[in-house]
Amino acid sequence: MGSSAGKRAWCRTFQAVMKVGNYFLPWRIPETLSGEDSVLELPDKLKAAGHDSVLVVTDESLMKLGLPVPMLNKMKEMGLNVAVYSSVQPNPTDRNVEDGFRMFREKNCKAIVAFGGGSPMDCAKGIAAKQAHPKKAVRQLQGLLKVHKRIVPFYAVPTTAGTGSETTVAAVITEEKTHHKASINDPVLMPRLAVLDPKLTQGLPPFITATTGMDALCHAVESYTNGTYLTHLEREYAKNAVRLIHEHILAAYEDGSSIEHRQAMQWAAFYAGRSFTRGCVGYVHAVGHTLGGLYGVPHGLAMSMILPCVLRQYGEKVFGRLAELADECGIQGRSDAEKAESFISWIEETNRKMQIPRGTDVIQDKDIPQIIAWADKEANPLYPVPVIWGEDDFRTLLETLRKQA
């Protein structure tokens, strides 16, 4: 198994050039507001920046829960004109982006606030990208550095602790017609400010807490095991994220009311998001995106199931880096191989305790060629994965997921 020598050479050459090119991109870290009720400080920030008309992008479930209402009321009290687009699907589509952009334009909005989990975040970023290029279809903006133009002021309020979208340059959008899920990737999409208010995550059901938290872990682990594009900052962020998740995810799962554990998981998601923003993800995400696009598998659930399988399949190529993450968590072992195995076993045991399944039976034989084609296209040559896979490697992973269902 494995990729061809020509494919490996092409991918590694591309990544070497990309590593140098990264030093010329405008990387930054969003300003943050954190702590209980910090979301109510956001309207003051908007007013001070001169944004008199704002599009808030969220979803129907959050509106029914009333979670955005205190923020919306504060905005209106301060004289801001507020338009709310809340029709975002769990896997946001190009139609969602087009509809949201139409509302943005009709209401003459001057800024965008994303309020919610990864789906509203991604949709809001898509709207911002569309605003920069109103004549382009969403699929024309998907890929690397295709926005390349200043976007409308963009603020992020996460209500889950997982995606890290409040500090990333990516927006994952599904094409409604083909179910193809792909990213818009450009540093201009990074929010200028992120609000980490732990009270907004207190009402998350335990299973959502679990899968979104493991999504954050996946971001940090994939970024760290990739390694190629990272600077010292991203390495430290990845390690901080893994340590915080190791210390707090089960406690947040078991006691969702705890502000301490909720805030820690928000910072973990933030650190992990900023790490993979430069370091990239890998085959866990590349395959997981296809399961979301084709079968509607929730993103965090896909990441939770796939992560330990991919790490085991990488084998000795990741022992050293996984051992370093194990050290960060206090996970013991007499060698790098033992520490790496113990680290993967910790992931599997944490999944089990949070009732996350080990695999899935949704994968259909007829779809496997398409899954492989989409995953390979997403990952190669951009993602600096530890081992570059060929078709047989992807098939092995998919069979593992089916066998473990």
pLDDT in tens, 125-161: 999 999 999 999 999 999 989 998 999 999 999 999 9
Phi, psi for residue 320 in degrees, rounded to 5: -60, -50
pLDDT at 254: 97
pLDDT < 70 stretches in the chain: 1-2
Strand, helix or coil at 321? helix
Strands across the sheet with 170-174, in order? 143-144, 181-185, 170-174
Q: What are the distances in angstroms from CA 328 to CA 236, 260, 325? A: 10, 20, 5
pLDDT at 181: 86
Cα(154)–Cα(273) distance, rounded to whole angstroms?
17
| Domain segments of the chain as ranges | 5-23+203-403, 35-200
pLDDT at 2: 66
The answer for 179, left when phi > 0, alpha when psi is -120 to 50, beta otherwise, is left
For domain 5-23+203-403, is the CATH number 1.20.1090.10? yes
Cα(211)–Cα(300) distance, rounded to whole angstroms?
5
Tell me which of 3.90.550.10, 1.25.40.10, 3.40.50.10420, 3.40.50.1970 is the CATH number of domain 35-200.
3.40.50.1970
pTM for the predicted model, two decimal places: 0.94
pLDDT at 3: 77
pLDDT at 182: 87
